[in-house]
Amino acid sequence: MRRMVSQWVRSFTCVMLAVSICGAADKNSDKKVVAPTSVDTGTFTIIVSGRKVASETFHVDQHPDGSTISSELKTDDPGLNKAIQDSEMSMQPNGLLKKYTWKEVTPGKSQIVVEPQDEQFMVSHVTETPSTPAKDTVHALAPGTSIMDENFYSHMEVLTWKYMAFGCKLNAQGQTECKWLPLRMPIFVPHQQQFAIAEMTYKGMTKLNYNGKEAEFKTFSLVLEDPSDFKAEGGNCLLWFNDQNKLVRVLIASDNMEVLRD
SS (H, E, C) 55-71: EEEEEEEEECCEEEEEE
Between 171 and 248, the more confident residue is 248
Identify whether the C-beta of residue 160 lies closer than 8 Å to the C-beta of residue 13: no
From the list 108, 137, 133, 132, the residue with the least C-alpha distance to 122 is 137
**Confidence (pTM):** 0.85
Residue 198 scores a pLDDT above 90: yes
Model confidence at 208, pLDDT cuts 50, 70, 90, reads very high
Each domain of the chain, given as residue ranges in start order, spans: 6-21+35-261
Helix (H, G, I), strand (E, B) or coil at 252: strand
The predicted-structure confidence for 211-234, as pLDDT tens digits, reads as follows: 889 999 999 999 988 765 444 454
DSSP annotation of 106: E
Q: What are phi and psi of 231, to 5 degrees?
A: -105, 110
Amino acid at 134: A
Amino acid at 15: V
What are the residues whose beta carbons fall under 8 Å from the beta carbon of 15, sequence distance 6 or more?
Answer: 39, 60, 62, 67, 93
On the 0-12 / 13-18 / 19+ scale of CB atoms within 10 A, 181 is: exposed
Amino acid at 75: T
* Cis ω for the linkage preceding 107 (within 30 of 0): yes
pLDDT of the residue at 157: 96
| 48, β-bridge pairs | 51, 257
Count how many residues are written for the chain.
262
